[in-house]
Amino acid sequence: MGHKKTKLLSVVIIFLLTCICINTIAKASTQSVNFNGVTLDVARQHYSTATLRQFIDIIHQDNGQFLQLHLTDSNDFGIENSLVGQTKSRAQFHDGTWENKKTKQKFYSLNQMNNLVNYAKKKNVTIIPEVDTPAHVGGLIKDMQAENMNKTVTNISYNNSYYGREIKLNSTGANFVIHLDQMVAKPFINQNNARFHLGGDEFSNSNKPNSAYVYYLNTTSKAISKMNMIPEAWNDGFLNSEVNQINKNIHITYWNWTGDETGKAANQRRKSRASLPTLLKSGYKVLNYNDYYLYFILNKTNLKTKNIKYMSSDMKSNWNPKMWNNDNTSHIKNITNIEGSSVSIWGDPSHTFPQKQVLNSSTKFINTFFKICNEFTQKNN
């Protein structure tokens, strides 16, 4: 009789442990808003790798998960790449920074990025490279022109009268970008939760269906997926009319519904661009990059102590990960596919600020953000 009781007790214990494990796994798989980080514009404001490590330390201490590097803009193309002619052999090294001899653009060598990724791994932080296309490519075009790659420049790009130089949304442009992205991605592949941001913001004023962009984004994002990296993109090109035609494996970084347009233009964009709730309903994973509360734009006004205090306090009082468009939290009933959020520190193309000043000034803003995210995740998971 005692033997049967022991056997029965063992079965019960195993059953209970199995239930606990299943429940734990289910909870982990449905957790949301737990991938949070900092996006740093390193194209308009270059930072030494020592400063980048300090940002990683802050993210780690605040229980954050990633640092996204905006490598591409009209000013600079911020990473070594032989495809556009930006290599160490064509650069000079000064105070820990590589500088293109011809264009004077500052950039990171692939070896520096390898070392940074290794440092970030020890802190459980993922480094996400962003090569923003089809717009925001002025820096890399300048690099190519400086190396007399004018024929290639003509083949892959054109001049948008409003946004400047852009990559063509055809097979030639897409294939060039795939090659470019594959080269940039190499130091960042072997990470936990490896990702690559494809850009996709501020490239068109049109609200009409854009099948060329759908093709372009699908083609470039699938190439990233083949590298075992998660493709990410800004929300601008996700229109209501085409939302189900774009690769559902893309994780969308949602910054603004109207692209900060006002009046008639804003109303038109609200009708054409997919809202964050629409994207969630369509099955996309989305990250909240709310540009009203979560953007720290470097200028003399914002760097004043009283304004930093105000921005941090305003975020703490009014923002949470469900607030997706300025003050709009409406129509979000299920947060499962809100994957996380990011604060973004954007540079001033006309002025460079001391790195230590940027780091010290933005720390409180970053700390406040992570505290909100961590408290929200604990409460909702």
Question: Is 16 among the domain residues?
Answer: no
- Active-site residue, 202 included: yes
Residues 8-17 have pLDDT tens digits of 444 444 444 4
Residue in 80, 202, 232, 339 annotated catalytic: 202
Question: Is 171 among the domain residues?
Answer: yes
For residue 137, give its domain range.
52-91+129-176+189-220+228-380
Where residue 263 falls among pLDDT bands split at 50, 70, 90? very high
Where residue 5 falls among pLDDT bands split at 50, 70, 90? very low
Domain tally, the chain: 1
What is the CB neighbour count within 10 angstroms for residue 262? 8
Question: Is 108 among the domain residues?
Answer: no
The pLDDT, as a whole number, for residue 332 is: 85
Where residue 31 falls among pLDDT bands split at 50, 70, 90? low
Pair 67, 37: CB distance under 8 Å: yes
pTM greater than 0.75 (yes/no): yes
Q: Alpha-carbon distance 114 to 136, whole Å?
A: 25
Give the CATH number for residue 77.
3.20.20.80
Residues 238-262 have pLDDT tens digits of 999 999 999 999 999 999 999 999 9
Question: Is 11 among the domain residues?
Answer: no
Question: Is 362 among the domain residues?
Answer: yes
Alpha-carbon distance values, 346 to 7, 40, 71, 73, 256 (Å) = 64, 7, 12, 11, 15
Write the secondary structure of the chain as one string of H (helix), E (strand) and C (coil): CHHHHHHHHHHHHHHHHHHHHHHHHHHHHHCCCCCCEEEEECCCCCCCHHHHHHHHHHHHHCCCCEEEEECECCCCECECEHHHCECHHHEEEECCEEEECCCCCEEECHHHHHHHHHHHHHCCCEEEEEEEECCCCHHHHHHHHHCCCHHHHHHHEEEECCCEEEECCCHHHHHHHHHHHHHHHHHHCCCCCCEEEEECCCCCCCCCCCHHHHHHHHHHHHHHHCCCCEEEEEHHHCECCCCCCCCCCCEEEECCCCCCCCHHHHHHHHHHECCHHHHHHCCCCEEECCCCCCEEECCCCCCCHHHHHHHHHHHHHHCCCCCCECCECCCCCCCCCEEEEEEEEECECCECCCHHHHHHHHHHHHHHHHHHHHHHHHHHC
The pLDDT, as a whole number, for residue 25 is: 33
Pair 138, 73: CB distance under 8 Å: yes
Alpha-carbon distance values, 287 to 167, 169, 209, 343 (Å) = 25, 25, 24, 11
Question: Is 256 among the domain residues?
Answer: yes
The stretch 186-212 carries a mean pLDDT of 97
Question: Is 36 among the domain residues?
Answer: no
Q: Alpha-carbon distance 145 to 166, whole Å?
A: 14
Question: Is 4 among the domain residues?
Answer: no
Is the pLDDT at 327 greater than 90? The verdict is no
